[in-house]
Amino acid sequence: MKPQINHAHKAVILAAGVGSRIRPLTDDCPKSLMMVAGKPILERMISNCQSCGISEFVIVLGYLEERIRRFVKETVPELQVTFVVNDRFADTNTGYSLMLAEKAIGDASFIKFDADVVFDSEILRRLIASDFLNALCVDRDIQLDAEEVKVIVDDQLRVLQASKAIDPQTAFGESIGIEKISAQTAKQLFAELILMMQQAVHLQDYYEAAYQRLMEREIEFRALDITGLKWTEIDTHDDFAAANQMFNDT
């Protein structure tokens, strides 16, 4: 019997960033609207969510926000979506953007996506169906360097650390930018983000810094091993070329 899909999750898509490392492709196009194998990244993401039973969306905008609003309105006009705007996208990071989604999420559990990740819907299906209340999708079979968010886990797949600063030699794998957060943990996560963002030193923090603080308070996050399934994060021109090759049959 196939596991039942949980329809209670909202999708939270962080799409505020500039995508400076892939300029000039993002000079007049948000990275989430770049075409991968003939389809915009955001359209693929929304379609994958819908195929897994997710019907409510929160999209955090910033850079070229009107382009994304218009695209969603024209492409999926029936979509149940709340747009949240990070007016400080130029001097903040993903932690700040996620914090801004608090009111739109309310008391729901959610799946968080970085808007530059292209992925097979089976990854999302497994994440939703997993028994883990809080989970990070992790790929073990990948070349790790300083730019990847790496994780260290124990023998029960509990995440002990999640950071770009982790030594690749000690890491279990890479966190791919898709996570499941329970409703109960969401309240604690947003409280932590709000506390952090009151201090200028944290404005450039990634959301993983808040995950790490919760882990240190014994709030459990697990690693969901998605090794072998197709996905890629698009940060560079090489990533973009690899994504087009990887998904050219979908």
With cut-offs at 50, 70 and 90, classify the pLDDT of residue 70: very high
pLDDT of res. 6: 43
pLDDT, mean of residues 14-23: 89
Domain boundaries, the chain: 10-242
Query: What would the two tokens of residue 154 be?
Result: 């124990």
Give the dihedral sign, CA 82/19/121/186: negative
Strand pairing report for 35-36 and 117-119: unpaired
Average pLDDT over residues 50-73: 95
Residue 22, pLDDT score = 84
| Mean pLDDT of the 91-101 span | 95
**Rounded-to-integer distance, Cα 5 and Cα 165, Å:** 35
85, two tokens: 């705007």
pLDDT tens readout for residues 130-183: 999 999 999 988 776 667 788 888 988 999 988 888 888 888 889 999 999 999
Q: How far apart are CA 17 and CA 13, in angstroms?
A: 11
Which DSSP symbol is given to 140?
S
Residue 21: band (very low, low, confident or very high) from pLDDT cuts 50, 70, 90:
confident
CB 223 within 8 A of CB 132: no
What CATH homologous superfamily does 10-242 map to? Answer: Spore Coat Polysaccharide Biosynthesis Protein SpsA; Chain A (3.90.550.10)
Classified as helix, coil or strand, 160 is: strand
